[in-house]
Chain A
Amino acid sequence: MTEERTLDFLEAKIEELRQLNASGGIDLSKEIERLEEKLSALRQDLYSNLTDWERVRIARHPKRPYALDYIASVFSDFYELRGDRIIGDDRALLTGLARLEGRPVALLVQQKGRTTEENKERFFGMTRPQGYRKARRTMELAERFGFPVISLIDTSGAYPGVESEELNIGGAIAENLQTMAGLRVPTVAVVIGEGGSGGALAIGLADRVLMLENAIYSVITPEGAAAILWKDKEKAREAATALQMTAPTLLERGLIDGVVAEPLGGAHKNPATTSAALKEALVRHLHELEAMPLDRLLAARYARYRGVGRYVTRAPDQP
């Protein structure tokens, strides 16, 4: 976004003036104040009315905090559990134990890479069957010991490849859904960036589903929908709007339970405040879920997913 570059430029300019000001000589405080006002107005203007496509861009922003950043800031004592015990260890989906305000939880998180090297290792954040089966193993462990399960979702989708199909990636996703449907512990899923289709849902069938304010959650990527329905990859912007994939819209439609606020411009503008908001939301939702007796928790989970859908009943004699 070129507007974003203007903001960065202004920020740098102000910093420069501040240093000049501090070194003595001319008094620049008036000038600095004026620029800061301008910056703030610009920022407000640019970020308070984001289009759906701009949110897609923020959700995929290369500087956006990833799962491991939140693990470091929201949780303590992250203790990674690796490997599906059958084939290998996926590095796009990480699992482990950690503490949230001192108490143990199980984590299932999708991690994108920042460097080319890291992206190669993490398959650009696309989970393979090994990752889904590892997640299932960790869910079952959590159930045995009564740990709540927290998922951080961030993937453009499950990894499409020959090996994925050989290892039955669809079956692995289906089995995860079945396991999550019956887990006898509270579960919370948060879409922190991209919630890409079945690859996201595979760790997302939870009691509470939250999204960061600029995260997206969709049945297909806007590019995929553009290619299939518009037969034109350039139509991704239109597809992003038509698919209604942003957090505020999905909350309004009752498909998610909460939106975690991000600072103006996105989580990467202030990761610390985003982490604090995420932590507050996780603690609050887990607290509510843990207050419910297990049978009520499971009944509510059933009702939540059984009831999803919109349709009308046709008259019996309608053509």
Chain B
Amino acid sequence: MSLFKERQYLRVHVDREPDDSLWMKCKSCGELVFKRRVRENSNVCPSCGEYFFQTSQERLESILDPGSYEPLGDRLSTDDPLSFVDSRPYHERVAEAQAKTGLDDAILVGRGAIEGRPVVIGVMDFRFIGGSMGSVVGEQICRAMESAIADRRGFILVSSSGGARIQEGLLSLLQMAKTVVVRRRLAVAGLPFVSVMTYPTSGGVQASIASLGDIVIAERGAMIGFAGRRVIEQTIAEELPAHFQTESFALEHGQIDRIVRREDLRSELALALGFFVGAR
């Protein structure tokens, strides 16, 4: 028997209602719920348990001990290496994403503590061009791991990404290689890496750093896979199983260690990290 109801993807509503309203409507149960209670509840509907989209800032708040977060080093931004223009210029998309999210790029990295255990953490943000990994995201993941090595802390990466950022071309693809060479150093240093896969963990991110955790945890409602659903459907011209690329699919096929509810993520991470503290 499956622990959770089988379903296709969780709907992620990135565009949320303005933050000044006090109430919001759950898109799953239709209930009108008090917004502050939702935020305090890790963006889980207090009425039906459905997950709402969680920004990287909210995610950090719900995982780390209060007041423990300290952003890491420099603020980095893309310099549009290809001067890329598709239907719109890339630099416009970036500026818009920066204004919308308050982020420099699709990731936040910093130091913090989880139930008193010091960690370095990176949290990707799907709102920023699909959480895609270009030069900045790759660099920040590497700097986070290097900071973990320097301070002898465990490293946690919460992924939420569609994959490599197309607009930086081959440079984006090579971020996969970059994060992996630094991940090896973390392993050589004997420090633990817990990879948390959330909605969605796919493409070049799933095919590199996110799959290389000492422990790989999926949040309930995650989407985990390499190729997009549409691409596969076009290739094989057949319908895909309902729970295809869900967290239960990944668990069933041996791709992850555990599925965790969002509200349990903090204690789960503390528990996992506890095994490694002082191990080397």
Chain A interface residues toward B at CB < 8 A: 158-162, 164-171, 173-175, 177-178, 181-182, 197-198, 201-202, 205, 217-220, 224-225, 228-231, 235, 238-239, 242-245, 250, 255, 301-302, 305-306, 308-316, 318-319
Given contacts A182-B184, A306-B182, contact A168 B176 (CB under 8 A): no
Q: Give chain B's interface residues, CB within 8 Å of chain A.
A: 74-79, 81-82, 84-87, 98-99, 104, 134-136, 138-139, 142, 164-178, 180-184, 202-204, 206-212, 225-228, 231-232, 235-236, 240-241, 244-245, 249, 253-255
Determine how close the nearest CB of chain A comes to the CB of B165; give it in whole angstroms. Answer: 8
Residues from chain A with Cβ under 8 Å of B253 in the complex:
165-168
Residue in B closest to A209 when the chains form the complex, CB atoms: B174
Closest to B254 in A: A168
Tell me if B207 and A242 are in contact (CB < 8 A).
no
User: Given the interface contacts A160-B232, A161-B235, A316-B75, does A178 sit within 8 Å of B180 by beta carbon?
Assistant: yes
Q: Which of B134, B165, B181 contacts A306 (CB 8 A)?
A: B181
A162-B241, A218-B169, A229-B87 as given contacts; A177 in contact with B235, CB under 8 Å: no
CB distance from B44 to the nearest CB of A (A): 28
Which one of B84, B104, B236, B244 lies within 8 Å of A242 (CB-CB)?
A: B84
Q: Which chain B residue shows the least CB distance to A178?
A: B180
Bound-complex Cα distance A170 to B168 (A): 21
Q: List 5 A-B contacts (CB under 8 A).
A: A173-B226, A242-B84, A245-B170, A309-B136, A311-B77
Once the chains bind, are A305 and B170 in contact (CB under 8 Å)? Answer: no
Neighbour of B208 across the interface among A173, A245, A250, CB < 8 A: A173
Return chain A residues, CB-CB under 8 Å to B138: 308-309
Provide the bound-state CA to CA distance between A168 and B166, in Å: 23
Q: How far is the CA of A177 from the CA of B211 in the complex (A)?
A: 11
Tell whether, in the assembled complex, residue A170 and residue B171 are in contact, meaning their CB atoms are under 8 Å apart: no
Given contacts A178-B184, A181-B184, contact A309 B254 (CB under 8 A): no
Contact between A198 and B173, CB atoms less than 8 A apart: yes
Given contacts A166-B253, A170-B206, contact A305 B166 (CB under 8 A): no
CA distance A306 to B186 in the complex (A): 13
A228 to B190, CA, bound (A): 40
A310 pairs with B135, CB closer than 8 A? yes
Residue in A177, A239, A311 whose CB lies within 8 Å of B176? A177
Partner of A308, one of B178, B207, B232, B254: B178
